[in-house]
Structure 1
Amino acid sequence: MRGQTVLTSKITNFSQLLINRVKFMKICLINNLYEPYARGGAEKITKIIANGLVKAGHEVFIITTSPYFKQLKITFAKDWRGQANCPPSLALRRTSELRIYYLNSLYHNLNKYPKVLRLVWHIWNMFNFINYFRIKKILKKAKCVAVVTNNLMGLGFLTPLAIRRLKIKHIHLVHDLQLIHPAGLLLFGQENMINGQWARNYAGLCSRLFASPKAVIFPSRWLRDRHLDKIFFIKSKRIVLPNPVAPALAVAALKDNEIFKFLYLGQIEKHKGLNLLIQAYKRIREKFPRTELIIAGVGSGLEQVKIEAGRDNSIKFLGRQDEAQVNKLLSVCQSLVVPTLCYENCPTVILEAFSAGLPVLAADLGGISELLGENTAGLLFRPGNVADLADKMSWAIECPSDLTELARVGKEKVKQYSVENYIKELEGLIN
């Protein structure tokens, strides 16, 4: 009887071991950009998800792109086993936790080419059979349980087909409108650009190429509805799950008699509305001289924005900031301003501000209102309206107690968007 009990105990322990091992999976993340070529929120979200999966015990590798004719600072002469040399078109970087495959792509310098060449490139991107075979080969060799795709512009829209052919579970995370329009952006006042015949043909073709992954994640209801309007992902499980945000390392605090610092954090491009922000800021400067506007980021619109700023020494340009510098800015400024002129999905910078307890003023476009609520977790202003933005900035300075309440609500709200909760949802979708 005792022997039988021991045997039963061993079987139970072995079964429990198998159950525990099922929890840990080999997962591939695919995004067109990743460090050291990251630009915006999608790359940041991909990194957060990758780190979260690794922390949860999963094995993760990433497929992304690198520019032609540009070498990474790290030498990629050998693969992660130290055996075969990687071909010039495929670099492999191995960190302590991740393997990262870099495929060469012209996507990084696309804005430098004439419109005709960009059109040709977009057609090639949709049917890039070379990357189709490269990605398929990597996935087949890796034997992963699931693939989580993000932005595929630059990697090729045949990637979902490669995943289907290998019968791997496919989760797609939508970040913008690049499957509805190749620009990926919908500008305020130009809403009909996605309804033209050419745009409809493009969206229809993308819908066929992407078909219906096992599950599709939309960070906002607004983005989900735009894709459902265009008949995307009909057979997929579709869920709205806001992007994860890492906990803030420092918390913002407004001190008496301190210079009030407005913060812009992100890409410096025309569609981000920096000229609008500077005009609004200049309107309030005479009434509120103890203010500063901090602009952190880089982009093609930097020189034009500096011209708009003129010789106003209270407008400070900091350039690109690393993660530690961003955290410090979020803790020393008094309000984040998001003056965007394009429809945003679920801006990462707003979630980061919430996490740091930094009040947010943002244009009422796209999914932003879902984050800020009815002016409960932040203050919305009319997009493209300099006067309304200036009024909201003045209000922020004059009403510190109300501003503090906005920050409190935002900080409480963002708790549900923790990385741990997001990873649990993702694991559930895969399983």
Structure 2
Amino acid sequence: MRILIIHNFYQHKGGEDVVFAQEAAILTEAAHQVETISFHNKKGLKGLLQFFLYPWNVCASRKIMKQVNGFNPDVVHIHNTHYAIGPLLFRKLHQANIPVVLTLHNFRLLDPSANLFHNNTVFTDTIDREFPWKSIRNKVLDNSLLKTFWTAFTVYLHKRLGTWKNIERILTFSEFGKQLFLNSTLGLNADQIAIKPNFAVEDSEPYKVQKKDFFVYIGRLSEEKGVESLLKAFSLSQYTIKIYGDGPLRDRVKEASEIHSNIIYGGFQSKEILHQYVSQSQALIVPSIWFEGMPMTVLEAFACGTPVIASKIGILEEMIRPGKNGLLFEPNNKKSLKETLDNWMSLSTDDKEIISDNCKKDFFDNYSAQKNVLLLERIYKEAIQQSKIQ
């Protein structure tokens, strides 16, 4: 199959970049003919021009269509178009009768915030609105009225033009995400949306790592990640938590680690070091209080047989099956988290071993590279067939 994969990089590296590169690599390894084209959001005057061209970027679309005409792909897979590419590309590909698959890595089509999180709480007020005036008034995107309005206008313009309805397959990570999009004013239909999880690299260690008496948190140190409730829960317990990452709450974490000997801050570490700690830990803690996309840390934990203790919110409630591959607790609730930690530590060694084995099984059944390739191939074929009957 001839596959063109398109991606727009933000100024700061994110999980979408990793998925873009990984999927291009595994599809190539599976003997598909793959080409990629990417754009980067710029700073300064160039970035300002990209921003204002966002709703109708003729130049970016022309450049991409030139490669499309030269490569003649069977299908085009797009990961991100914000800002440097823009939604006009979808219209050009549809006019050329090229099947298109779009991965939704966030909720930008539902609200300019992209993460449905504002003022330290989940924000879903505008999902069922034709135009998100409340989001604009609240300046949910980078606290900027202009950025919020222009992003909202771009999505709204292409909603009115029917752009989003003309995409053959739109990919979300979970049933939860799918329902959010179906309940919106985008006008999408259920057959148009497919669920495709991310994947992680398989654990190469053929043996089981000896578990130690500590838990681990890996990720951005910020409010939406539930770091405050994490610190409060462990300050009330005797259990050890090792925290790795960086972000606006770094000083808060360092302060807590100086006061409580069971809270250990390890800063930013290499992927190899993090893998070691995740493998050895009792469980990975994911205390998010917002709607995650699909945390790669969870997949990587499953890959090495480490259970996950997570907030009962959004996609995490789908991924984590209590007593099977981890445990769930109420989001932003230190008491619930502490009780869940107590429940975990009360389990027998045999019970923990069974849960660890379930984690690895879940990984190979749902989140391995091999499963991902098969799923992508099926989705591409469906998109191609759908394009022929339109």
Same fold (TM over 0.5): yes
Structure 1 residue identity aligned to 2:106: D
Residue 169 of structure 1 is matched in structure 2 by 99
* Residue 141 (structure 1) aligned to one of 56, 70, 79: 70
Residue 136 of structure 2 is matched in structure 1 by none
TM-superposed deviation, 1:206? 4.8
Residue 354 of structure 2 is matched in structure 1 by 405
Residue 145 of structure 2 is matched in structure 1 by none
After superposition, the C-alpha distances for 1:394-421 in whole angstroms (9 at most, x for unaligned) are: 3323325333332222221221222122
User: Does 2:302 align with 1:354?
Assistant: yes
Residue 124 of structure 2 is matched in structure 1 by 191
* Distance in 2 of aligned mates of 1:252 and 1:183: 42
* Residue 236 (structure 2) aligned to one of 269, 274, 283: 283
**Distance change in 2, residues 1:67/1:346 (3 Å):** closer
- Higher deviation after alignment, 351-360 or 192-201: 192-201
* Distance in 2 of aligned mates of 1:349 and 1:355: 10
Residue 387 of structure 2 is matched in structure 1 by none
> Are the counterparts in 2 of residues 272 and 341 from structure 1 also a CA contact under 8 Å?
yes
**Unpaired runs of at least 5, structure 1:** 1-24, 71-88, 90-103, 107-119
**Distance change in 2, residues 1:133/1:350 (3 Å):** same
2:214 aligns to what SS in structure 1? strand
TM-superposed deviation, 1:371? 1.2
**Distance change in 2, residues 1:414/1:235 (3 Å):** closer
Q: TM-score, normalised by structure 1?
A: 0.72
**Distance change in 2, residues 1:430/1:196 (3 Å):** closer
* Distance in 1 of aligned mates of 2:107 and 2:22: 22
2:112 aligns to what SS in structure 1? coil
> Are the counterparts in 2 of residues 31 and 63 from structure 1 also a CA contact under 8 Å?
yes
* Distance in 2 of aligned mates of 1:369 and 1:400: 24
Q: TM-score, normalised by structure 2?
A: 0.79
2:332 aligns to what SS in structure 1? coil
**Distance change in 2, residues 1:195/1:215 (3 Å):** closer
Structure 2 residue identity aligned to 1:46: F
- Higher deviation after alignment, 163-172 or 379-388: 163-172
* Distance in 2 of aligned mates of 1:210 and 1:408: 41
- Larger-Rg structure: 1
* Distance in 2 of aligned mates of 1:130 and 1:171: 21
Residue 211 of structure 1 is matched in structure 2 by 165
Residue 241 of structure 1 is matched in structure 2 by 196
* Distance in 2 of aligned mates of 1:360 and 1:165: 45
Aligned CA-pair RMSD: 3.1
User: Does 2:180 align with 1:226?
Assistant: yes
**Distance change in 2, residues 1:146/1:365 (3 Å):** same
User: Does 2:205 align with 1:253?
Assistant: no
> Are the counterparts in 2 of residues 345 and 368 from structure 1 also a CA contact under 8 Å?
no
User: Does 2:272 align with 1:342?
Assistant: no
* Distance in 1 of aligned mates of 2:175 and 2:324: 18
The 5 A counterparts of 1:8-407 are 25-33=1-9, 38-40=13-15, 42-66=16-40, 68=42, 124-155=53-84, 156-187=86-117, 188-195=121-128, 198-199=131-132, 204-207=156-159, 208-230=162-184, 231-234=186-189, 237-250=192-205, 253-255=209-211, 258=212, 260-285=213-238, 288=239, 291=240, 293-312=241-260, 314-401=262-349, 402-407=351-356
2:9 aligns to what SS in structure 1? coil
User: Does 2:374 align with 1:424?
Assistant: yes
* Distance in 1 of aligned mates of 2:107 and 2:64: 23
**Distance change in 2, residues 1:346/1:48 (3 Å):** same
> Are the counterparts in 1 of residues 104 and 170 from structure 2 also a CA contact under 8 Å?
yes
2:68 aligns to what SS in structure 1? helix
Taking only the aligned residue pairs, the percentage that are identical comes to: 22
Structure 2 residue identity aligned to 1:39: G
2:101 aligns to what SS in structure 1? strand
1:281 aligns to what SS in structure 2? helix
TM-superposed deviation, 1:122? 6.4
**Unpaired runs of at least 5, structure 2:** 134-151, 382-390
After superposition, the C-alpha distances for 1:4-26 in whole angstroms (9 at most, x for unaligned) are: xxxxxxxxxxxxxxxxxxxxx33
TM-superposed deviation, 1:178? 1.2
TM-superposed deviation, 1:343? 1.3
Aligned residues: 352
